[in-house]
């Protein structure tokens, strides 16, 4: 299960792993991200927009952490999510391309609002339509990748096998050390 909001929150992982810089500040990464999630019509965000995205990621990361540990959110957090949702105004238009009609959602103000709106909507949908107990952070303290646990037993702890192996090996060594 993939969620736009999770993909967005997990972009912070790259700051400390693999590419060691913030993908949100990388125009090519942002372009691919927008294309992947059908936000391709939007302009490449300017500096002000990137700051807004960084702020949004901090906030979503904070509420996801809270959700994973406390299994609920405060009214204050819910209000802030609603402020984000209210800030974006859209209307729908009908378009004709060749022989087909299609409906398009168009932002009243700037196109970059659309990215924020889609990310925050994705988060609101995820926590309202899916099981919040399955939203988890990788138990490797140096990783903390956010994922949706689709295992039957709800017992997945790691983002992937690399983290699982790493932690298992570490625990095994620690246990051996304690026994010595």
Residues at the site binding Zn ion, with contacts judged by CB under 5 A? 138, 140, 143, 145, 159, 163
CB of 143 to Zn ion, least distance (A): 3
Q: Kind and range of the H or E element at 162? A: helix 161-179
Q: Which is nearer to Zn ion, 109 or 171 (CB)?
A: 171
CB of 58 to Zn ion, least distance (A): 20
Query: Is 101 within 8 Å of 94 (Cβ atoms)?
Result: yes
**Distance between terminal CA atoms of the chain?**
43
Q: Which is nearer to Zn ion, 2 or 99 (CB)?
A: 2
Q: Which is nearer to Zn ion, 122 or 140 (CB)?
A: 140
Q: Which is nearer to Zn ion, 77 or 139 (CB)?
A: 139
CB of 159 to Zn ion, least distance (A): 3
Query: Is 40 within 8 Å of 32 (Cβ atoms)?
Result: no
CB of 169 to Zn ion, least distance (A): 14
CB of 73 to Zn ion, least distance (A): 24
Query: Is 130 within 8 Å of 138 (Cβ atoms)?
Result: no
Query: Is 70 within 8 Å of 64 (Cβ atoms)?
Result: no
Q: Which residue has the tokens 């984000």?
A: 84
Q: Which is nearer to Zn ion, 141 or 177 (CB)?
A: 141
What's the CA angle centered on 82, arms 57 and 127, to 5 degrees?
70
Measuring CA to CA, how many Å separate 82 from each of 92, 112, 117, 123? Answer: 21, 18, 11, 11
């Amino acid at each position: 299960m993939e969620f736009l909001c999770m993909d967005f929150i997990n972009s912070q992982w790259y700051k400390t792993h693999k590419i060691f810089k913030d993908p949100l500040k990388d125009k090519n990464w942002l372009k691919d991200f927008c294309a992947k999630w059908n936000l391709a019509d939007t302009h490449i965000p300017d500096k002000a927009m990137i700051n807004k995205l960084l702020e949004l990621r901090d906030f979503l990361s904070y509420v996801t952490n809270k959700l994973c540990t406390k299994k609920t959110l405060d009214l204050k957090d819910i209000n802030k999510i609603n402020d984000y949702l209210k800030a974006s105004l859209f209307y729908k238009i009908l378009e004709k391309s060749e022989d087909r009609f299609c409906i398009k959602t168009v932002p009243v103000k700037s196109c970059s609002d659309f990215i924020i709106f889609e990310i925050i909507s994705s988060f609101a949908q995820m926590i309202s339509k899916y099981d919040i107990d399955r939203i988890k952070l990788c138990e490797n303290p140096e990783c903390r990748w956010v994922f949706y646990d689709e295992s039957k037993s709800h017992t997945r702890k790691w983002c992937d096998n690399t983290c699982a192996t790493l932690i298992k090996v570490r625990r095994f060594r620690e246990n051996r050390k304690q026994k010595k």
